[in-house]
Every structure is written in structure tokens, then in C-alpha cells.
Structure 1
Amino acid sequence: MGLLERRAVKAFQDGSYPKLTNEINTLAGYPIEFEVNWDTLAVEEYSHLYEEAFSKVYFTPLINAIKEITVDDMGKEALKESLKKVVIKNEGGFYSAPSAYSFDGGVLTIDHEPCSNIDYVNDRSEALGKLLMKNL
């Protein structure tokens, strides 16, 4: 990871990341642990897209899914009992929603290329919502 990538990651970590994770935790009604492998997200030559891409690929779909789940107390309770941690990484070369998500032992893993299909937020939101609801 070069200087441009490190600066762009740092800008996201200091700016949007706390706001997005706070929104997720507020919607969930409890603190969810986040583990982000920033080094794998920092794709060379795409640092200019990190702000938009990280938000749209990793966080907005999760926000949308949690909104769908927590519309009632039953959903809030099921989420709190089941989802303990979110792992975000880019290791498997996945760029489509169905293959990018897994849920096991209370851990949601999002393994998606950060700069592929950035605007497919609805597809990711829908796939993530279905996966979580199936496992709650």
C-alpha cells in the first residue's frame, strides 16, 4: 500500500468509518464489534474511490439490512442474540453479493472487492438482508 492509499484509508478511518459504525450500532441497539482488514481493502490506483466505495460496498448494505431487520422488537432481539461481530476484508476476489457474504458463529464476514460493482448497493442490501434473516 502506497502513500496515496494509506492517506485515503486514514481519511476514511477518521471521517466516515466512525459515523457509519455508530449508525449501525444505533440501529442495532447494541455495540457490534468490527474487524476491518484495511490492508486488503486498499487496492492500488483506486484511492480516489475509497470514500464512496467503502461506504457503498461495505457499510450502506449493512445499514439497509439492519433497518429491515429491526422494524420490530422481534427483529431487534434476534439480531442482538445472533450478530456479534462483522469482519470486512477483500481476500477472496468476490465482486457479487451472493458470494461476498457469510455468517457463522455470530460473525458476519463481508469479503468483497472494494472497487467492483460499487453502485450495486440494492443487490448487496437484499442479499445481506436475506442471509441475516435466514440465520437469526
Structure 2
Amino acid sequence: MGLQEKRAVKTFQDGSYQALTNEINTLAGYPIEFEVNWDALALDEYAHLYEECFPKVYFTPLINAVKEIAADDMGKEALKGALKKVIIKNEGGFYYASSAYSFNDGVLTIDHQPFNNVDNITERSTVLSELLMKHL
């Protein structure tokens, strides 16, 4: 990761990332731990796309899923009892929702390439929501 990528990651971390994780935690009604492998997400020569792509690929689908699940008290309680941590990374080469998500022992892992199928937000939201509800 070069200087341009480091600057773009820092800008995202200080701005959008905080707002997005705060929104997720507010919707859930409790603090969820986030662990992000920034080095794996920050691919060289894509720094100009971080602000657009990271939310679409990693955060908006999670926001949509949490909104759906936490729409009532039963959903909020089920989510709180099950989801403790979210790991975001780009290690497996996955770019479809059907293979990008896993949930084990209270940990949701999102392993998706940051710049592929960026606009498939609805598909990712649906797959993620179904996965989480299955484990609640």
C-alpha cells in the first residue's frame, strides 16, 4: 500500500467508516465490534474508489440486513444475542454474495473483493439478511 492508498484509507476511516459503523450500531441497538483488514481492502491504484466502493460492498448491505432484522424488539434481541463481531477482509477472492459471507460463533465474516460487482447491493443485502436470520 502506497502513500496515496494510505491517505485514502485514513480519510475513509476518519469519515465514512465512523458514520457507517455508528449507523449499524444504532440500528442494532448495541455496539458491534468491527475488525477491518485495511491492507487487504486497499488495493493499489484504486484509492480514488474507496469512498464509493467500501460502503457499497461492505457496509450498506449490512445496514440493510440489520434494518430488516431489527425492525421489531424480537429481531433486536435475537441479533443482540447472536452477532458480536464483524470481520471485513479481502482474502478469498470472492466477488459474489453467495460465497462472500460466513457466520460462526457470533462472528460475521465478510470476505469480498472491494471493487467487483460493486452495485449488487440488493443481492448482497438479501444474502446477508438470510444468512443472519438463519443463525438467530
TM, length-normalised to structure 1: 0.99
Residue correspondences, number? 136
Alignment match, 2:52: 52
1:33 aligned onto 2:33: yes
Alpha-carbon distance between aligned partners in 2 of 1:9 and 1:117, rounded to the nearest angstrom? 20
Alpha-carbon distance between aligned partners in 1 of 2:44 and 2:94, rounded to the nearest angstrom? 17
Alpha-carbon distance between aligned partners in 2 of 1:55 and 1:4, rounded to the nearest angstrom? 19
Alignment match, 2:2: 2
Q: Deviations over 1:57-78 (max 9, x none)?
A: 0000000000000111110000
Q: By how many angstroms is 1:45 displaced?
A: 1.1
Q: By how many angstroms is 1:27 displaced?
A: 0.2
Query: How well do the aligned residues superpose, as a CA RMSD in angstroms?
Result: 0.5
Alpha-carbon distance between aligned partners in 2 of 1:38 and 1:129, rounded to the nearest angstrom? 24
Alpha-carbon distance between aligned partners in 1 of 2:2 and 2:70, rounded to the nearest angstrom? 40
Alignment match, 1:62: 62
1:114 aligned onto 2:114: yes
Percent of aligned positions that are identical: 75
Q: By how many angstroms is 1:79 displaced?
A: 0.0
Which residue type is aligned with residue 64 of structure 1?
N
Alignment match, 2:23: 23
Q: How does 1:84-95 map to 2 (within 5 A)?
A: 84-95=84-95
Greater than 6 Å deviation, 4+ residue runs: none
Q: Deviations over 1:38-63 (max 9, x none)?
A: 00000111111000100000000000
